Amino acid sequence: MIKSNDFEFNHIFINSFPSGVSNKKYGDENKKLTFVLLHSKGGNEEDLILEKKLSVKHRYCPRGKVLENGMPRFFRRLFERVFDLEDLRIRSHKL
């Protein structure tokens, strides 16, 4: 597990299968996949690292950079259920 703030995001990168998951069971195709796990509003990069149901070797868990009422999220909203589309485009590209 690597905890870092490279790539402009505080994040955790996991380069191994979760405990209890057999590498042989899932085959070589999952060794090539990287799951990007996004937390919900108010969460952080540590919320999803212990997800045991994922059967991929690489997991990238960034922390959202937008603060809404002091809680991190990934995209800015104009108000409830309405995203700032320009912000969404820019931040999606960076992510």
Domain coordinates of the chain in residue numbers?
2-94
CATH superfamily of 2-94: Alpha/Beta hydrolase fold, catalytic domain (3.40.50.1820)
What pLDDT is attached to residue 77? 93
What pLDDT is attached to residue 87? 94
What pLDDT is attached to residue 41? 85
In this structure, is the dihedral angle defined by the CA atoms of residues 37, 63, 60 and 90, taken in order, positive or negative? positive
Which pLDDT tens digits describe the chain residue by residue (95 residues)?
Answer: 677 766 677 887 777 755 555 555 556 666 677 888 888 888 888 887 665 566 677 888 899 999 999 999 999 999 988 999 999 999 999 88
| Cα dihedral 51→56→58→63 (10° resolution) | -40
What pLDDT is attached to residue 36? 85
